[in-house]
Structure 1
């Protein structure tokens, strides 16, 4: 039973997460040779002021919308 934990910055819509869940579930089921019902996907979402890299909080390092297509 695959358990997939996805960590990302907050800001994605429920529709985006649903589309991602469908895609990752199909891929995991096919590659791992399991039923789609057996695949579990969990999202851990973080505020940018609770996430840092290189010693700097992402809320300081990156402006609003960073990481979304067309925002870079």
Structure 2
């Protein structure tokens, strides 16, 4: 059985690396583009303060204060 030493169907190493880079770059762009809204949805917004929390609001949008509860001051 004879083997061909130089088949024209196989691209050279430089072209293969370029195609791999192109494929990975396109895939990463798609994944990051799809992941960005998911991350923005599940990470709550912060005001940038040192507490790292968000002020609790009631149904009308007013701040909920600890002093409004009976027995708490």
- Structure ranking higher in helix proportion: 2
Q: Fold conserved (TM > 0.5)? A: no
- Structure ranking higher in strand proportion: 1
Greater relative contact order, per chain length (Cα 8 Å cut-off, separation 6+): 1
Which of these two proteins has the greater Rg computed from alpha carbons? 2
